Amino acid sequence: MEGFLGGAYLWVKALHIIFVIFWMAGMFMLPRFFAYHVESVAGSDEDALWIEREARLMRIIINPAMMVAWIAGLALVANIGLGAGGGLHAKLLLVLILSGFHAVLSRWRKALAAGDRSRSTRFYRIANEVPALFIILVVILVIVRPF
Ligand code: HEM
């Protein structure tokens, strides 16, 4: 493979996909945790347990996985060049929006930990589907390359 990554290119792409999977898994789990959390009694032991679980999921899985997915992804971009076609640009736009959703999840987590229960279980169950939509679009872009 041409480019500064040379023989490491496929290893970096494998690392990228592995941490994308960890990142998406966490982005699926967290809204689901929120949905169960708001069904618990405010101030109860179960409430405190969900606050701890959500903080650990964010700190140990979701944040590190996003960082490695981005770093490996940007190394791949630097290797193939941004001129690699419209599909890559469209993908990067979708991934930026997905990263924005990550920030929104982080804000909801802090709000819920501070006692904000203004969003319903149903709201979080719908939010749970957002990553799925982006994964479908991104994978079609990178594998089928429609443009
Ligand atoms: C976080 C920012 C991301 C960046 C900067 C990025 C960038 C890239 C680049 C440059 C490639 C190599 C493309 C090629 O070899 O032609 C790649 C491969 C890939 N990316 Fe990402 N990506 C990101 C996030 C994601 C996400 C969120 C997903 C899935 C939901 C994803 C799925 C894939 C897949 C499946 C491949 C392999 C495609 C192939 O074998 O050609 N990436 N990524």
The Å distance, Cα 108 to ligand 1 centre, comes to 27
Give the rounded distance of the alpha carbon of 105 from its chain centre: 10
Judge contact between 34 and 128, C-beta under 8 A.
no
Is the beta carbon of 21 within 6 A of some atom in ligand 1?
Answer: no
Is the beta carbon of 69 within 6 A of some atom in ligand 1?
Answer: yes
For the chain, the structural domain boundaries read 6-143
User: Residue by residue, what is the 3-state secondary structure of 81-134?
Assistant: CCCCCHHHHHHHHHHHHHHHHHHHHHHHHHHHHCCCCCCCHHHHHHHCCHHHHH
How confident is the chain (147 residues) per 10-residue block, as mean pLDDT?
Answer: 85 98 98 98 97 98 98 94 79 96 98 97 97 96 89
pLDDT at position 1 is 58
pLDDT at position 11 is 97
Angstrom distance (rounded) from CA 122 to CA 35: 7
**pTM beyond 0.95:** no
pLDDT at position 83 is 73
pLDDT at position 130 is 95
Closest C-alpha to ligand 1, atom 3: 73
Angstrom distance (rounded) from CA 94 to CA 138: 7
The DSSP secondary-structure symbol of 27 reads: H
